[in-house]
Amino acid sequence: MNIRNLLCTGTALTSCFAPAAVFAQSLADAGANSSPVVDDTYSRGAGDIVVTARRRAENVQDVPIAISVVSGATLDEQGAYNISRLAQLAPTLQFYSQNPRNTFINIRGIGAPFGLTNDGFEQGVGIYIDDVYYNRIASATLDFVDVERIEVLRGPQGTLYGKNTTAGAINITTRAPSFDFEGKAEVSLGNLNFKQGKASVSGPLTDKIAARISVTGTSRRGTLYDTAKSAWIQSQDNIGVRGSLLWKATPNFNLTVSGDYNLQDPSCCAFAYGGYGPTQRAANRQYPALISYFPGYQVPSTNPYERVTDADAALAARNEHGGLSARAIWEISDANTLTSITAWRYWDWGPANDRDYTGLPIYTKVNNPTKQSQYTQEFRFSHQGAGYDVVLGLFGFHQKIHTSGVQETGTAASRWLLAPPAGGVCTPTSTALACNPAVLNNVVAINDIRLNNTSLAAFAKLNVEVTDRFTVSPGVRVNYDKKMGLYDSVVTGTASNGTRQIVSAVPGSPSFNDPWTAAQRGIQASQFFEPNFSAWNLSYDLNLRYAVTNDVNVYATYAKSFKTGGINLNGVPADANGAPILAAGTIKPEKVDHFELGFKSQFWDRRATLNVSGFWTEIKDFQANVTNGQFGTIRGYLANAEKIRTRGLEADFTIRPSERFIAHASGAYTDAKYTRFVDAPCPPELSGGTTATGSQVVGPAGVAGSLSPANCDISGQVLPGISKWAASWGAEGNVPSTLFGEEGHFYFGYDASYRSRWSSNPSPSIYTWVNGYSIQNFRAGFRTGRVDTFAWVRNAFDKDYIDLLLAGTGGNTGLIAAQVGDPRTWGGTIRLTF
């Protein structure tokens, strides 16, 4: 069995899920994406996997932090061609995506708040490809292009990776240009019209210049049928191209220049009907009554697993990324190396959404197309001394974002959003505004949203060998951030006299007292503010490692980290005079205290690996996504929860008794809660009624017409998106044989994942708990050193499961929308290596 079978992953620390293979890589290459030299022979005791997670080449079993490592070959063989599928291999990595822009990645329960993305804050899981930071989380949904390996670093990584890694980092290394001609091509076909092709070729152009070019393309029919368009949606339509040139100018200096282009353009994204959960709103304003106001309308299915919806608005999810980078490595001497990484990236997001989650023309547009450009520069100097080594660095980042959004209501908006007449029946003589479609029809918000974001940092990481078995590794990072934003939303609507007027929340403004304008103002009003934020922050950590034996290490870590403060760029609540509450325009930085203990071990001549760790992380001023309780509010805003805590245990075990068989099992227990959040938004069952004041007693949950709290104390309740229990496991066996005169192996592989139930709402709701589930995958084929052909089936038992639940259209009508996971898929792959 060869390197293509390598899978190294774990929940506490990395272990190798394949026959041992040696990664020989020099310290000088630690900053480069050069391909390691691999010994393909099976050799007990040669289980070294070299990673560069700490910006230096190290055996992963010696790194005193929690890491999972997955080879590019394993990603190919198990069909994990993006981070969504990678999450099935790493139990504490969770991935959620309403669409590419509204995507969340969590590690150990933290990383990104649930809700629509806000441009003015940072994610807590940093994504790096060849040492280049990808600021936009939408890049996580793109297909991997010619990946060498992926390192998932769990826990705060602020010293070396920066302020955006309070939960962890995903460090992706692509295959580098080779001075030996090589190539790979593969084609996969499957049900749902699945088609995927990949190709890569590399070789020398001169004796000092090598090149590599890689392409990938994926297409698949959608899994959700839209009856309004008579078409399948939630499709896949991805292409990616990556090219790089490596110039070895001298034996001590090399330069790699890379460029990439990636595009998703699927028919996407919508939700199915997920259910109804009664709220405290008046019964005639909840989902069953609202639907009854539209005779002839009927939801296409009340069973989300029938995968049917009726999204009547236009849908689009065009997600385009690209960029250029230059990495220079100068080995000044045997002990000193200087690395420079310069990069420019852009992002172009072109969406169209149906945000009312019905087939009615309530909101006909809720679209926020966005353009972004970013520039990064990093310098690193590494020095290897007698009994110590050190990495020093400088980092600079500048980003510009411009969003030109639009929100528009339709002919069903008045009936759905405004109070009904007595008895709920509109007659030809009714004067109720809800009975007049013209009142809210074509209320349009034109949004101009801008951000200038600058970040500068200096950092250092030191490793000191106190003895030949005890290593102390302190680190520090000083960071400066400055954010300048603009939010300008101009809302216009038709006044009762038939003229178009600006819908203003400021008393005394033109047409302020017009009844139609007043009704429109209750749904959305114009708003303008220019938030800004700047601050210095300090991160530091201390790692201790003790080698009990050559194959057993114990470690302890303390990290003091932060996530920079943010600015709200989705609008903020207004005061009694209609002015934006400027204090809500900014949010405080998160302040993180992290503790971790663990050990990693290999035994039975390194045939077996067992790694275990425990962690405890507390975050003050946790950045959460909230709403202000106003029914018409579509987009939430950011606020600080006083404190959260996540803690848990992670373990993984791997056994490879021979080159014929390997098995692995990983598990994680994670307990993630709000320690203190006393003014959180309330869940749907405690919202929608008249707000209780003074000594009034809040009504029972889910009872129509009862009094609602202004906010809720959710201290002690769970964070969204995290399962208390998660696991992955699998095995592969092979038998030597000959097929068509070619010597190779027949093999059979199995892998699976499990997660327990989890909350899909920022404030836990009885209506949005997602049931736990397990997914089983199988593959079988014949492999030689040149050709690999196999059949595969994913979600083999066609398990029905939910990816995401959310409260639709304002949150208190009782409508629950569901995003359903993939059904069983199957197909075959042929891969040629030359």
β partners of residue 378: 341, 395
The per-residue DSSP string of 467-502 comes to SSSEEEEEEEEEEEEEEEEEEEEEEEEE-TTS-EEE
The residues spanned by each domain of the chain are 3-833
pTM attached to this predicted model: 0.90
> For residue 16, which amino acid is it?
C
Output the pLDDT for position 450: 97
> For residue 796, which amino acid is it?
A
Architecture of domain 3-833: Beta Barrel (2.40)
Output the pLDDT for position 142: 78
Output the pLDDT for position 786: 94
Could you state, in chain order, the average pLDDT of each consecutive group of 10 residues for the chain (834 residues)?
34 34 33 34 44 73 83 77 76 84 87 76 89 84 85 89 87 94 96 97 98 97 97 96 97 97 94 96 94 93 97 95 97 96 96 93 94 96 95 96 95 94 86 95 96 96 96 96 96 96 91 94 92 95 95 96 91 80 89 96 92 96 70 60 96 92 94 94 92 92 94 94 94 94 95 95 94 97 95 97 86 92 97 94
Would strands 125-129 and 168-174 be described as parallel, antiparallel, or unpaired?
parallel
SS3 content of the chain, % helix, strand, coil (to 5): 10, 55, 40
Distance of CA 790 to the CA centre of its chain: 30
Output the pLDDT for position 6: 33
Pairs from 703-706 (Cβ < 8 Å, separation ≥ 24):
703/278, 703/280, 704/278, 704/279, 704/280, 704/281, 704/282, 704/283, 704/286, 705/280, 705/281, 705/282, 705/283, 706/280
The answer to whether the beta carbons of residues 624 and 763 sit under 8 Å apart is: no
Would strands 224-226 and 308-309 be described as parallel, antiparallel, or unpaired?
parallel
Please, which residues have CB within 8 angstroms of residue 100's CB and are 6 or more apart in sequence?
138, 141, 142, 264, 317, 319, 349
